[in-house]
């Protein structure tokens, strides 16, 4: 939730729209470590691009016209992907390579997840 709030503050206090939170037997969603969300007035691709700059984050952007949301989770090593599949189908996922992810992940400290001070 700290990263979601950080993103909302970054985009001028944009309202958070939760697409999916906790789901039983659903990987990181099942442990409370993931959320699918949107920020009102912010394109999913732009939000995902911002979040990919965070250390130790899993960021997926769902680009099908009927989805348009971002998956965000916390993990030890960042992983980013794009998925153009229709809702409920997973067949167009592709990893987005990030040559700087390991360096960001290694430099991570807990305060990096907090919203910037003074906002």
Where does the pLDDT of residue 117 fall: very low under 50, low under 70, confident under 90, or very high at 90 and above? low
Give, in order, the Cα–Cα distances in Å from 1 to each of 38, 49, 107, 115. Answer: 13, 18, 20, 10
- Model confidence pLDDT, tens digit, residues 17-42: 999 888 877 788 888 889 999 999 99
Q: Which CATH architecture has domain 2-113?
A: 2-Layer Sandwich (3.30)
Give the strand order in the sheet containing 16-20: 16-20, 34-39, 69-74, 57-62, 79-83, 93-95
Q: What whole-number distance in Å separates Cα of residue 93 and Cα of residue 21?
A: 20
- Model confidence pLDDT, tens digit, residues 61-116: 999 888 899 999 999 999 999 998 888 787 778 889 898 999 999 999 888 877 66
């Amino acid at each position: 939730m700290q990263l979601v709030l950080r993103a909302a503050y970054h985009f001028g206090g944009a309202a958070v729209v939760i697409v999916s939170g906790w789901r039983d037997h659903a990987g990181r969603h099942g442990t409370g470590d993931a959320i699918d969300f949107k920020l009102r007035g912010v394109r999913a691709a732009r939000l995902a691009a911002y979040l990919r700059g965070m250390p130790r984050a899993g960021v997926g952007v769902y680009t099908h016209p009927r989805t348009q949301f971002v998956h965000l989770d916390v993990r030890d090593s960042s992983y980013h992907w794009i998925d153009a599949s229709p809702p409920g189908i997973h067949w167009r996922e592709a990893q987005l390579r990030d040559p700087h992810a390991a360096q960001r992940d290694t430099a991570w400290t807990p305060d990096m997840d907090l919203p910037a001070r003074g906002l």
